[in-house]
Structure 1
C-alpha cells in the first residue's frame, strides 16, 4: 500500500499560495491539506495544485444549522476536486439523538457528491471521545473518520489504555490520519523526538500502525497522512516572549520522515 503524505497550510499563513505550494512540493509531500480558499482565490489555488502536481484534501466545518452548513461547505469543496474531505462536524454538547440525525444526513450528502468524508475526532465536536465516536460508528455503518487521537488523549487525560475496544472500531473506520502526538494534558507535545515524550510517540505510532494494517487487509491502494502539528496555541511557547519552543516546519518534516521510514 502506498503512503501519501500531505502538508497542512495551518501555520503557513505568512506564505502566499505559490510560496507555500513550492515549499511543500520541494519537501516531497504528495499534497496540501487546507480549508477551501475564498472564492476570489480558488482559480489560482486550483492552478497551483496542477502546476506543482499536488493533490488536495479539503477541510470544512459545521455550525448553526449543521446540516445546511455541511452541505454548502461540502458542495464548495467538491468544486476543487479534492482527494477527500475532512469535516469538523456537529457539537459535543448535542444530544446523541441529534448527533445521529446529523451524521445520517452527512452520510447521504457524501454519497450524493461522491467524495469520501472523514469526520475528525476533535475536541468541541461530536467525536471528541472514543466512546461517543464508537457509538456513532456502530449506529451508522457508512460513517468514516479522520483519526486525530491526540485530542482523545487530552480529553481522557491518558494514553487511552482503557479504550481498546473503542479504538479498534475507530481503526477500522479511519480514512485519513492526522499524525500529531498528544499527551494527557494537551493535544500536542513540544517535539515528537523529545525523549520525555517517548511513551506518547510510541502509543500514537502503534495506533497509526493498526490503521495502516486495517486498510491493507481491506485492499486499499493508498493511505493519506498529514503530520499535523500546529503553530502557537497548539505549540508550546516560552513564557513572556511567546516564542515557539520548536520550529513548526521542521517538526512536521521530522514526523513525515518518521512516517516514511515506518510505512514506505
Structure 2
C-alpha cells in the first residue's frame, strides 16, 4: 500500500498556483488539497499547475454557511458537482451542520453517495466542529445508521469538543477508524483543535495519542487491501495558529510544521507498507 502526502492550500494565500505547486513539489509532497472556486479561469490554473508539477489533487468542500437546510442542500450539491469536474483523487467534505437533525444529515450523505455514483469520485466526510460529524458520540450514531459513509479523520476537533484525548470514547474512535479513507494530520488538545507546535516537549502526550490513532487507520487500510492511503498534514494559520497579542505574530511557522509532520509520518511508515 502506498501512502500519499498532500499539502493544504490553506495558509498559502497571495501565491500563484504555479509557484505554490512548485514549492509543494520541492518540499516532497505528492499532491495538494484545496477548495476549488466556481471561476473557470482559476480552475484552469489549478489544473495546469497540478499537471505541470506532477502532483495529485484532493479537493475540499467547506462552504456550509446557509442556516436553512433546504438552501444548504441545494448549494451542497452544486459545490460537490463543481468539485467532481476537477477529476480529483477524492473530495474532503465538511458535510452538514451540528444543529441539523440526524435525518437531515442522512439526506446529505445520500446526496453525496449519488454524486459519487455519477462521477466515480469518492467523498470523505470530515470529522469537523460545527458539521455533522462534530463529536465522537454523534459520529458513532451517524456511522452506525449510515454504514456506507466514509470519513476524513481529523480527531483534533473531537479532542477540543470533548475536552479530552477521547479516553472514554474508544468504541466511537474504533468505529471511525474503520471508516476512514483520508487523514488530516493535525494534533489537537483539550482546549483547541491545534497545539502550538507538535515539536515542543509539552505536547508530546497529545502527539503520541494522535500517532496511535493514525497508526490504527493505516493498519486498518492495509487490512482492507487498500491500494493507497492519503494524509494531509493540516496545521493551519492564525487564528488556528495562536498569535501574540497586539502584534498578531504567529507563535510558530505553519509551513514548517506541516513539512515536519509529513516527514515524521513518512519516516514512521517507510519500509513497512509503502511502495511504488
- Normalised by the length of structure 2, the TM-score is 0.93
The residue that corresponds to 1:235 in the other structure is 241
Match of 2:106 among 90, 95, 100: 100
Quote the offset at 1:41 in angstroms. 1.1
Cross-structure match for 1:48: 49
SS at match of 2:148: coil
Could you tell me which of 134, 154, 160 is aligned with 2:160?
Answer: 154
Shift of 1:119: 0.7
Paired with 2:11 and 2:232, the residues of 1 have a C-alpha distance of 13
Say if 2:80 and 2:112, in contact at 8 Å, map to a contact too. Answer: no
**Which residue of the partner structure matches residue 209 of structure 1?**
215
Report if aligned partners of 2:150, 2:181 keep a CA contact under 8 Å in 1: yes
Residue 145 (1) aligns with residue 158 (2): no
Q: How does 1:112-123 map to 2 (within 5 A)?
A: 112-123=118-129
The CA distance in 2 between the partners of 1:120 and 1:183, in whole Å, is 18
Match of 1:19 in 2: 19
Query: Gaps (5+ residues) in structure 2?
Result: 271-276
Shift of 1:63: 4.3
* 2-structure distance, mates of 1:102, 1:60: 13
Output one character per residue of 1:185-210: Cα deviation in whole Å (capped at 9) or x when no partner. Answer: 00000111111010000000000001
- The two structures, once aligned, show a CA RMSD in angstroms of 1.1
Give the corresponding residue for 1:78: 84
In structure 2, C-alpha distance between the alignment counterparts of 1:58 and 1:252, rounded to whole Å: 18
Alignment check: 8 A CA contact 1:34 1:57 kept: yes
2:78 pairs with 1:60: no
Q: Deviations over 1:36-94 (max 9, x none)?
A: 13322111211111100001000013343233222211111111110000111110011
Q: Deviations over 1:227-259 (max 9, x none)?
A: 000001100111221101101111111111111
- In the alignment, the residues of structure 1 paired with residue 52 and residue 11 of structure 2 have an alpha-carbon distance, to the nearest angstrom, of 22
In structure 1, C-alpha distance between the alignment counterparts of 2:182 and 2:72, rounded to whole Å? 22
8 A contact 2:156–2:186 mirrored in 1: yes
Deviation at 1:101, TM superposition (A): 2.5
Contact 2:153 2:182 in 1 (8 A): yes
Distance 2:182 2:78 in 1: 22
Aligned to 1:109: 115
**What TM-score do you get using the length of structure 1 for normalisation?**
0.97
Rounded to whole Å, the distance in 2 between the matches of 1:75 and 1:109 is 7
1:258 corresponding residue in structure 2: 264
Question: Number of aligned pairs?
Answer: 264
- Provide the C-alpha distance between the structure 2 equivalents of 1:176 and 1:258, rounded to a whole number of angstroms: 17
